[in-house]
Amino acid sequence: MMAMRRTAAVVLLAAGAVGATAVAWAQKPARTLHEDVPSPGGDLGGPLVGSKPEAGKNPEGFASGNKLLPEPELAPKERGEEVFGRDGFSTDRQTSARPDYQTGSDGTLHYVSVFNPDVMPFKRMSALDGVADDYTAIIRSSALSDVAVGGATDASRDRFWASIMIELRPGQDVAIPSVAPEMRILSYETQPSVRVTFSKDSADNFYVRSDESSAAGQYRLVFLADADAGYFSPELPRRIYSVGKVRELAMQEGRLPVLPAAVLTMARRALADRGLSENDELGTAFNKLVYYFRGFEAKAIDHPTGDIFWDLYVNQAGVCRHRSSTFMITANAIGIPTRLVHNEAHAFVEVWFPERGWQRIDLGGAALRMEVQNGADKTIHRPRADDPFAKPEEYDRGYTQLEGDIRGLSQAQLEEARKPAGDAPASGEFGELFGSGSGSGSGSGGGDDDEPLGPGQGPHGRPADPAKLTPTVTITIADPVAYRGETLRVEGRVDAARGPVGGVRVDVMLAPAGSGGRFPIRIGRTVTAPDGTFASDAALPADLDLTRYELYVSSREDARHNAAISD
């Protein structure tokens, strides 16, 4: 390693060469020997930037819509931050939930943000996949199965950072939140460093534990997750199914809970009241159910019968937890597998359809306001498509649509989150930033947008925008020598007049020495941390010519900053 003040002259050596002989070969490219060199790692065309994700190592960031989201810092516990593994307001997992008669409007809801992009208010903390004989929603099986860390993410999936504090004891499972039932953990890091194992139960509630004998105390856990984009953009299967056929398929896969006889009797009474049966087409039946339960209102039940399910159903009374628990029972009774999902601020359901798998369905709620903690400077998750199911007028005015009195989010965050699908990039897309398209048909797809900024160049020939700040890109450390098929370590920072520039894409490039930066070759991509620093283990192509190169690093243009390049 050597400190870099301007560009770095890098000698690229053939893998396995040593000492002065290797340098001599590098100075005589005409005598390049035939050799088998492993391909460098890393896919510059995907949404991730920086290191390959794995257990114990996160990438430096990922593209999300028109933003780059850097890895959260492995910071100490913040003041007032709750710890998963301890009893707390937002960290408690409910293993059961019984509907109640407190059907008036909620006051102020408090929601704690842990994901970026944040799925607020739809964080999955407690999912319940069964029903007891008193209408209590339960977890059918608490037996845990381990979840492997890793997997390749692609354009069909949405990606998320999570940053939480956990309290570990050897072998003790700690309940943690998730964004979707089939969420995958692509990578993680902890501070202090400890190896952990993720697992989940029958309702796809997630847990983490460490089996190391020394694991004790509080740890910062930062993990990268992804999930099928279809979970957040619910829609009907392409094929036409009767509800009875859905029931048959669900039972074959063990997804449909067996309702107690008394519960089933009352649920079938509700279905008859709606004129629904297993012979109905799935889309027709489902839209009728959604429309009815989205029409619930926060109000008292004047003449209760004592049967809580029937009283809530027939009066269309209650807030999110009432309509969701009652919907869960009714949908399961007709044959649509449905779960009840809770967090500290909201309750909703997720349903299973053939072809589509699990999908999040919001039925709305009633509250005076919602206060969001830890949501500042985060982006709000944008699904690929708007919910297509029936919506009574009152549904669109609720806090679940981020309408009404929402505290803790900026006006810019709210405006972006409220834009209809198609008016702004979805969170899972990355073509707009990387020029590779996202596979959804709405990425830019143009190769020009993905060309690195070379020395002396402006972005696509455009002059710098005088309304934006022009940063300074500084290389602080770089390997003086590197090998084909291996990596080149580069560190630096990006600063502007108002301070560090965080969350901006950075390209690492080589240009032949003495060429003045012409013919740059991009070898790496990363993203700056909140303090403006970056680090990249850039992969060198196996077929790169053996010669001397100059090293350049450029930052990309964003909403506040012009593009810039190192000296």
What is the structure's pLDDT at 436?
Answer: 46
Q: Are strands 347-353 and 405-407 parallel, antiparallel or unpaired?
A: unpaired
Q: Kindly report the average pLDDT of the chain as a whole number.
A: 86
Q: Sketch the domain layout of the chain as residue ranges.
A: 2-53+452-565, 67-94+141-231, 96-138+232-431
Q: Cα separation of 369 and 402, whole Å?
A: 10
Contacts 24+ apart (CB under 8 A), 300-303: 300/103, 300/104, 301/101, 301/103
Residues with Cβ within 8 Å of residue 389, at least 6 apart in sequence? 234, 286, 287, 290, 291, 361
Neighbouring-strand partners of residue 178: 124
What is the structure's pLDDT at 437?
Answer: 42
Which residues in the chain come in under a pLDDT of 50? 1-10, 13-44, 436-449, 458-460
Contact between 161 and 177 (Cβ < 8 Å)? no
Q: Cα separation of 239 and 445, whole Å?
A: 30
What is the structure's pLDDT at 432?
Answer: 64
What is the structure's pLDDT at 435?
Answer: 54
What is the structure's pLDDT at 20?
Answer: 28
* CA-to-CA separations, 404 to 366, 371, 373, in angstroms, rounded: 10, 11, 17
At 494, is the secondary structure helix, strand, or coil?
strand
What is the structure's pLDDT at 265?
Answer: 98
Closest C-alpha to 399, from 307, 298, 477:
298
Residues with Cβ within 8 Å of residue 539, at least 6 apart in sequence? 40, 41, 42, 486, 487, 523, 524
What is the structure's pLDDT at 37?
Answer: 39
What is the structure's pLDDT at 39?
Answer: 38
Closest C-alpha to 341, from 111, 139, 104, 88:
139
Q: Cα separation of 322 and 478, whole Å?
A: 59
435: left (phi over 0), alpha (psi -120 to 50) or beta: left
What is the structure's pLDDT at 553?
Answer: 92
Residues with Cβ within 8 Å of residue 20, at least 6 apart in sequence? none
Q: Measured over all CA atoms, what is the biggest interatomic distance in the chain, rounded to whole angstroms?
A: 94
What is the structure's pLDDT at 45?
Answer: 63
What is the structure's pLDDT at 352?
Answer: 98
Closest C-alpha to 278, from 332, 234, 326, 325:
332
Q: What is the DSSP string of 24-74?
A: HHHH-GGGPPP---PPPP--TTSSEESSPPBBTB--SEEEETTEEEEPPP-
What is the per-residue pLDDT across 524-542, written as a single tens digit (0 to 9) for each? Answer: 888 888 889 998 888 888 8
What is the structure's pLDDT at 486?
Answer: 86
Alpha helices in 358-510 (DSSP H): 411-418, 431-434
Say which residue the tokens 């020997």 belong to.
33
